[in-house]
Amino acid sequence: MLQANASVIIALLMGIAGIVYVKWQLKRVLSCDEGNETMRSIAAAIQEGASAFLSREYRVLAIFVAIVAAIIAAFLAWQTAVCFVVGAVASAGAGYLGMYVAVRSNVRTAAAASHGLHQGLRVAFGSGAIMGMSVVSFSLLGMTILFLIFSGSPEQLTYVTGFGFGASSIALFARVGGGIYTKAADVGADLVGKVEKGIPEDDPRNPAVIADNVGDNVGDVAGMGADLFESYSSSIIAAAALGASLGANSLAFIGLPFLIGAVGVLASLYGIYMVTAEDNWKIRQSTNPVLVLFNKFVTQIDETASLQALLDALRRSVWGASALIVVFSLLAVLLTGVSLNYWFVILVGLVAGNGIAYVTEYYTSYTEKPVKSIAEACQTGPATTIIQGTAVGMMSTVFPVLITAVAILVSIWLGHKADGSITAGLYAVALAGVGMLSTLGVTLATDAYGPVADNAGGIAEMSHLPEEVRQRTDALDSLGNTTAATGKGFAIGSAVLTALALLGAYITAAKIDSLSILAPTMLPGILIGAMLPFLFSAMTMSAVGKAAYNIVLEVRRQFQEIPGLMEGTGKPDYAACVGISTEGALKEMMIPGTMAVVVPLIVGFVLGKEALAGLLIGTTASGFLLAVMMANAGGAWDNAKKWIETGQYGGKGSDAHKAAVVGDTVGDPFKDTSGPSLNILIKLMSIVSLVFASAFGSGWLSF
């Protein structure tokens, strides 16, 4: 029977294997052709802007991390403070590496797309694979090393929760800051360029076009990488923390989530291979049964591939990884010696994750009825576009909630049947979250490749490459919009399972015997918690509006004052828009980011530990619904515009297209700023509560 340390060591070794793969794939991607001189100069401008923003953002966050680490060391334990700093650095590192690769892969994807659709897909997806495997490997390495260092202490897992706190803190600021940056630039560029001036997207005459392309990377790659790094880390920490309280076999329960993370690396590598494998005739003709099995579902895309065919190709990679997890997780459960019920729990998480992904695809893909209904509504103007998109977003919450609720009920039942306690049921919920995220290496790759394809399209447009190249990058970009929406739904679903598990761990650590809705502070706590996601979303949406306002004024000024800009003979000042987006994002991210850390502490100390439990319940419930609605409505508006751009309802330039652009502009901060930030808010508040659980009492206003 494998005990905790043995499982953790296996996870450590698989983390190292993941880093080896990242290094190999990085070399492979960077060896690809960068195209002509014009393409390289545009890519260099995007690289410079992205690096400048991220370095400034990280300098601000370094001050925050230092202050919080000092507070933790003074009031809790220096070991927790060390884990907090390591979590923050690892999260920032994964985000930076993903961004570094993305801004170098965009131009290579555009060059590869000149030779074919499949070549472009391989380069872009290879970049996403580096992001996915970096997140998983950095997380496993950080947690396992810290676990082994503090393994001699009975408080080892209390210390390691600091790692999740550090990761969550960086994730929230990175998501909010990057989201404000990218959507301010995107909205500003669209409102003046496409709506007022009637010029195409990514037109080099638009002064905000470089800022827009930079934003795709700092928001949708670096921010998203930090986001899912935190999701992955928190799910394992929550399961291990609950496993520690499960009696005589607690060491096996602690080790199992680490072991699932380890086998997930292997499964994800196979899923990635299905998309990035070379079309090698000798390998495909081999009779070796292992090669036959591994190459049976390898993706090969031809030039006539539809969006549905591309979607199916990426689905197969995720399903292939999930199939391997089914087998590997059974071995993990047998090796640790826990009840076979926990294998079924992992399957519940896998099925729930794929179910949420499927529902999200349905509501955000332009091959399906919901998005087509929005496109149809565009014929009667922006108002009906907004109404129908909002309705689609609201309707899209039904099945994710039902899937998650069933997953929670089944997991609790299986855990309770296995070990006969409510703690075992909560442990099972946490393990379902680990199962849902076990294939993160490949699911994040399907998400992270999208911004690379989007940038590639912009580079192709600005470099005046042949029309068929832009058509190929547009096909990859449309696919990226759907997979990005799927990734957000996946992250939100796992956030709820993880937040519930963290809530259980908090209740145990805070020594709360029971919770009653009739307790004087309970209902106020729930109401405050339910309000917070709306306040948080209002602040982040307002931040995008303010920054976009300044971008619009700057772009208008340049069109008015720079001679020949509209005619293509004048040169736009791209750096001015990059600077405005950077300043706006850094300024506006601080208050909503700090709120997520401060509010739980205020409620815990003022109203007491029971009220804080109520706060977490309210935040999780309302945050889940609001996040799904905003992410899916935004994705649906975006793809409704792209559906019209394929030639439907008059195509580009028609009145329907203009209405769709308005819907897409409204949806941008929905899907890329406020919506995805909410799942981090849910978990950050939960893990802050867990880290400080021992410090809370009955409250200063106790009854």
368-410, pLDDT tens digit by residue?
Answer: 899 999 999 999 999 999 999 999 999 999 999 999 999 999 9
Residue 283 confidence (pLDDT): 44
pTM value is: 0.85
**pLDDT recorded at residue 492:** 79
pLDDT at residue 310, rounded to an integer: 72
Give residue-wise pLDDT tens across range 322-365: 889 999 999 999 988 889 999 999 999 989 988 888 888 889 88
- The helix, strand and coil proportions of the chain, stated in percent and rounded to the nearest 5, come to 85, 0, 15
Q: Which residue has the tokens 């399907």?
A: 446
Q: Which residues of the chain have pLDDT under 50?
A: 154, 280-284
CB 117 within 8 A of CB 299: no
Q: Which residues of 360-375 are buried (b: 16+ CB within 10 A; e: fewer)?
A: bbbbbbbbbebbbebb
Domain-wise residue ranges, the chain: 4-695
* Measured distance CA(624)–CA(227) in Å, rounded: 15
Q: What long-range pairs does 548-552 form, CB within 8 A, spacing at least 24?
A: 548/183, 548/184, 548/185, 548/187, 548/188, 548/191, 550/184, 550/188, 550/580, 550/584, 551/184, 551/185, 551/187, 551/188, 551/189, 551/208, 551/211, 551/577, 551/580, 551/581, 552/188, 552/191, 552/192
Write down the pLDDT at residue 280.
42
Q: For residue 48, how many other CB atoms are within 10 A of its CB? A: 16
Asked if residue 427 lies in contact with residue 416, where contact means CB atoms within 8 angstroms, the answer is no
pLDDT at position 699 is: 66
Contact 270, 320 (CB under 8 A): yes
- What are the pLDDT digits (tens) for 206-253? 888 888 778 777 777 777 788 788 888 888 988 888 888 877 677 788
